Every structure is written in structure tokens, then in C-alpha cells.
Amino acid sequence: MSANSDLKKQIETTVNSFLASYEDGRKAKDTSIINRDVTPDCTRQLLPASLCKALGLPEEFLMPNDIYEKLYADDLSLGGVHNTVSKHLTIDVEARRAAVESSGDMIYHHGETLHLEFSWIFYLTGDGTKISRVIEFADSTAVLKMAAIAKERAAKNGQGEEVDFDATG
């Protein structure tokens, strides 16, 4: 195999592991898994800007790993991601970038299921083993619904609850 072919395969492995981390973290009851495929200084950008604005965030909202892990833990306290499917993976080996679409189901402990869709752009390290930047274009309707459910549950149950890993499935 050529060096480019090997690197392409490595990038594909890294991207697939990243997407699987949402389910793997839930199954392992370990929120740190969400950051297993990213560099320590990775930033994540949520798009579209209109979604950030609707969530009360700056239009160019960049999240470091610690904030993303906290948000992931908050999600796990309410439910977890299941049935992740990816399609249309495109890899630019020379630029060390990849793009993919994904979908999955957020299944809440109270029984509701919310279907989620995302488009991702990843910037990878030279060897393709880690992601240094994530651009996440999210399904605005679904993310706003997730935020509403989180707000409703927080009001009902009180703020500051720890993640109930026994309830995450």
C-alpha cells in the first residue's frame, strides 16, 4: 500500500472512532471517551451561527475539550446516543481533512427519542491519528429540542445533578 493509502485508512479509522465515541462513552459510563480522538488543544465549532444565536451563544462559538466533555456529561444525565450511522465520508489526505454526515438517536430516560443529524468537518494531525479541529453543523431543530428538554428536566429535577451512569443504558 502507498503512504497516501495508509494515511487515508488511518484518517478513516480516526473519524469512525470519533463518531463512535458518543455511544462508546455511554456504554462505558466514561465521559472522557468523548475526547479520545482529539488533540488536547482541539476546538469544536458549532454551526450554523443562527443555532448558536438561538442558544444564547456567540455566533462563532468555539469549545475546548473540557467544556465539550461537560456538555456530553449533561446529555448523558438525560439519556444517550444510539444507532449512529455515518455516510458520505470524504477524505483529503494532502490537506489532512475529512468530512462526513452522521445521524443517530438521542434516547432519553423518560422514553422520548429524538433523531439527530450532523455534518462534520475534521482537521487532522499529520499522521491522521488525532483530530485538531471539529466543525459540527447540527440539525438546529433537534438541538433546540434537546436544549428545551434539558432545561425542562433541570427545572423539574433541580440543577447540578451528577450524571446517573446506571440510567444511561
What pLDDT does 1 receive? Answer: 58
pTM of the model: 0.88
What pLDDT does 2 receive? Answer: 80
**Residue 52: what are its φ and ψ, rounded to 5°?**
-55, -45
**57 CB contacts (<8 Å, ≥6 apart)?**
46
- Residue 142 in 3-state DSSP? helix
In whole angstroms, give the CA distance from residue 110 to residue 78. Answer: 8
What pLDDT does 8 receive? Answer: 98
What pLDDT does 169 receive? Answer: 41
Q: What is the mean pLDDT of each run of 10 residues along the chain (169 residues)?
A: 88 99 96 98 96 92 94 93 98 98 95 96 98 97 92 74 43
Long-range contacts from 115-122, C-beta under 8 angstroms, 24+ separation:
115/142, 116/81, 116/142, 116/143, 116/146, 117/142, 120/15, 120/19, 121/97, 122/14, 122/15, 122/18, 122/97, 122/98
Q: Where are the domains of the chain?
A: 3-167
What the block records as the C-alpha cell of 153 is: 428536566
State the fold for domain 3-167. Answer: Nuclear Transport Factor 2; Chain: A, (3.10.450)
CB-based contact 104:79 (threshold 8 Å): no
